[in-house]
A and B are shown apart, each in its own frame.
Chain A
Amino acid sequence: MSSNLWNLYPKCKQQGSRIALQDAGCQEREAGSQMSEETTSIPSNRWTSAPSLLKPGPFFMQGDEACAEGAIAAGCNYYAGYPITPASEIMERICQRFAGLPGRVFMQMEDEIASIASVVGASWAGARAMTATSGPGLSLMLENIGYAIITETPCVVVDVQRAGPGTGQATRPGQGDVMQARWGAHGDYEIIVISPWSVQELYDETIRAFNLADRFRVPVMLLTEEGVGHLRESLRIPEQTPFYSRLTDPTRPPFGEAEVPPMPAFGAGAKLLVTGSTHDAWGYRKTVSSEAQATLVERLASKILNHRGEIERTHTHCCDEEELDVLLVAYGFTARSALGAVRLAREAGIKAGLLRLTTLWPFPEETVRRVAARARRVLVPEMNRGQMLREVQRVTPQTTGYHRTDGEVITASEVWAAVRKELAA
């Protein structure tokens, strides 16, 4: 995060969106610990990088637009979507930009079900494919996201969350889809869900989402909110974009043997047998074999859970002391306000810190447990009635939550007030 603009706001303000995300007094650190060991196990020839399409350097952009630009930089060459507030700007930006980029296909489909279906079809045809929506559309997509899980189809699904349930408030932010993103499709599975907190991170994490999708052959969900999606702030386009290329060996079974099997494209002569029914390593339906069911379900989970270090991304802010008075655990837009509250607490002499979850699922439980163990109190502010709170409580039972469900963002002063209340209790 290198954003000169934010130096204009050295002190945090009441508004969540006005919080400087970085300053010298409050060090941001990657909190995940296994990163270096894990990355050595990846076949190195799969990772390359390409020069960024936009001119490297500073830009001022909306979150949704940054997501679209991140997708374009990541080599997204198939996008299908359906209009929905507050995600439509992603589709609009992609549509306009794809028009000038050869080999990239944009489709506005008849609904969200068709959007994700065509994304999966395009992915098997060799595309880096993506769709974006909001809560109501995600609800419609979930059956086919489950299909992408069982057929191990890489794709990126963006959910710009609004206030729900139902149609709710289309133009207001919420974080009510955290559990839906994790558990919304039927059956037993693991999925990767990422929640960026800034326009910069929306750009960077969209690129990471495409790479994780191809690396693990899994749909990756970017769970942002109207707050970040419609936020305008500066971001820096890097010189290079990292790129993981899918394994495509047609001679090995596409649904087994390896932890993450190769995935040849349609038309490459692999005679692919792709089915959403339980299947063996070559794709033959095995709808009554308990062994085939167990083998498939366990591998679909373990290929994610065995590589948490590659997937989980977390950051600590102001967590350098051995003991903290209070730790805030937050994600997405709310993490900005939490950082503001940390600064207000620090000004008042309270040793407060922030553990920011960029990866929500798989839940970074070891990191949360480790950092939370150093804090007297743990507080989870979020724009829902405590969805991530329950998950944090699973590893640190004494955790409390602060919730707001009125379609307004949580402000730094609110979180600071919640911290004071918590410390007084």
Chain B
Amino acid sequence: MKRGTTASILRYVRPKAFPTPFCPGCGHGILMGAILRAVDELGLDFSQMLFVSGIGCAGWIPSPHYDTDTLHVTHGRAVAFATGAIKFNPALKVVVIGGDGDIASIGGNHLIHAARRNVDLTVICANNLIYGMTGGQVTPTTPLGARTITTPMGNVEPPFDLSRLVAAAGATYVARYSVWHVRPLIASLKKALQRTGFSFIEVLSSCPTQYGRRNEQPSPAEMLRAFKANCVTLERAKGMSAEELAGKTLIGEFVG
């Protein structure tokens, strides 16, 4: 069987776990598949992989779907739980998956400290710019001006540039893509999974239910097209002016 295909990656999924709990149009399913495709293409021993996730929609990407050891923990603390597991058993391949609220807000301190001490983890942040599960509240990555249920007049607090934050904290590999950019995302996941040390991938994901419908992108397809339109690769950005880059999101490898 050709590796990386849908038929091939089904072997890594618990049959009992379907249907998924995700809303129609949620980007997390694309990321769920992309991670398994990267694992499959690399031929990693799935039984030696541990997926740790916290509370939030993205926490459900591995738990219960992935058919290996999964640890679904308290809100924000996945990186800290994962640190204990990898430090005690370095033979494990430990991956943390979480949303922007989980990883960057309540878990922000654990994130930068794990990057600083270069813990051998791959952290994947499914950044949908919103607290989805709890009803659409503002997060530390919600863009300025965006409407959420707790910023009804538009967000007035500047967001974190997560990738740059984690790069500054000392991660050995940092990249950002979106669920539109599936092929470079899979290539990036493969790179991160092969690294020793702290690797971080920020994946812009679509939440039409809580984010899109409040911000003039009510359909899933529109949200994906917006990723395509608004993302600029780091290479292309080098030749663009500040005016041209206004409102754009940089994607690519921040630390290669």
Contacts and interface: CB of A to CB of B under 8 A. Distances in A.
Interface of A: 77-78, 80, 105, 107, 109-111, 113-114, 117-127, 129, 143-144, 147, 265-267, 269-277, 283-285
A117 B80 contact: yes
B84 A118 contact: yes
B248 interface: no
B52 interface: yes
B73 interface: yes
Given A267-B48, A273-B63, A275-B63, A144 B84 contact: no
Nearest to A283: B64
Given A144-B73, A273-B70, 18 more contacts: A78-B84, A110-B80, A110-B110, A114-B113, A117-B77, A120-B73, A121-B84, A121-B88, A123-B84, A125-B85, A267-B47, A271-B67, A273-B64, A274-B69, A275-B70, A276-B72, A276-B74, A277-B72
B91 interface: yes
Interface residues of B, number: 32
Q: Which of A113, A114, A117, A265 lies at the interface centre, i.e. has the most chain B CB atoms within 10 A of its CB?
A: A117
B73 A276 contact: yes
Contact of B85 (A124, A147, A273): A124
A122 B80 CA distance: 10
B55 to A, nearest CB: 8
B237 interface: no
B77 A272 contact: no
B82 interface: yes
A125 B70 contact: no
Interface of B: 14, 16, 47-48, 50, 52, 63-64, 67-74, 77, 80-89, 91-92, 109-110, 113
A285 to B, nearest CB: 7
B80 A109 contact: yes
**At the interface, is chain A mostly helix, strand, loop or mixed?**
mixed
B217 to A, nearest CB: 30
A109 B82 CA distance: 13
Contact of A121 (B70, B71, B72, B113): B71
28 contacts: A107-B83, A107-B84, A110-B80, A110-B113, A111-B109, A114-B80, A114-B109, A114-B113, A121-B80, A121-B81, A121-B82, A122-B84, A124-B85, A125-B88, A127-B84, A127-B88, A267-B47, A267-B48, A267-B50, A267-B91, A267-B92, A269-B47, A271-B47, A273-B64, A273-B70, A276-B74, A284-B16, A285-B63
Contacts of A122: 84-85, 87-88
Nearest to B62: A273
